[in-house]
Amino acid sequence: MKARAIKFFSPEDNVSVTKKPQEQPKPTGYVSSSGKLVLPPKTLEELGIEPETARFKIGAQQGKRTLKHLYLIPSSDEDGTFVLTRSGRGYSIPLELILRKGGVDFESTKYIFEVTLFNYEEGVVGFELTLGTEEPKPAYTGKPRGRKPKNAVVAE
């Protein structure tokens, strides 16, 4: 046999490929029909929030008319902060007027939100709540754009 016709293996070739662990879903919550941000106990546990002592400054992006993101910044101040209140199994923050002014129609539509962490200031980690509905996006019914497929027959 010729030297060129031999394929040599390395020890790395004999190692089985392991699958990456699936990414855990982000913590979620929902907006109740009475205008409260509801955080289930599981979400509070994942985020490391102590519900009895937690206080938050709540804000949104400047210059936006409708709320798509809410920001919860942990704070130790007594003034100007929101407190978690016990409601059912979870905890909630009443924000009825703020959500209404922000264009969130929570009375007729069920809103859910995903929580992601972000660095607010040095040493302060905030929570970004991305609001969305449970309904899937409607199918696009507008005018088709772009090139026509080659195999398409032109109707005359």
Query: Which residues on neighbouring strands pair with residue 82, listed in sequence order?
Result: 56
* Residue 153 φ then ψ, to 5°: -90, 130
Strands 82-83 and 90-94: unpaired
pLDDT above 90 for 128: yes
Question: Does the predicted TM-score (pTM) go above 0.85?
Answer: no
Domain ranges in the chain? 28-133
| Cα separation values, 7 from 1, 13, 16, Å | 12, 12, 19
The proportion of the chain whose per-residue pLDDT surpasses 70, expressed as a percent, equals: 95
Query: Which residues on neighbouring strands pair with residue 71, listed in sequence order?
Result: 59, 128
pLDDT above 90 for 76: no
pLDDT above 70 for 41: yes
| Cα separation values, 123 from 8, 73, 76, 79, Å | 53, 12, 14, 21
CB 90 within 8 A of CB 30: no
pLDDT above 60 for 17: yes
pLDDT at 148: 82
Average pLDDT, the chain: 85
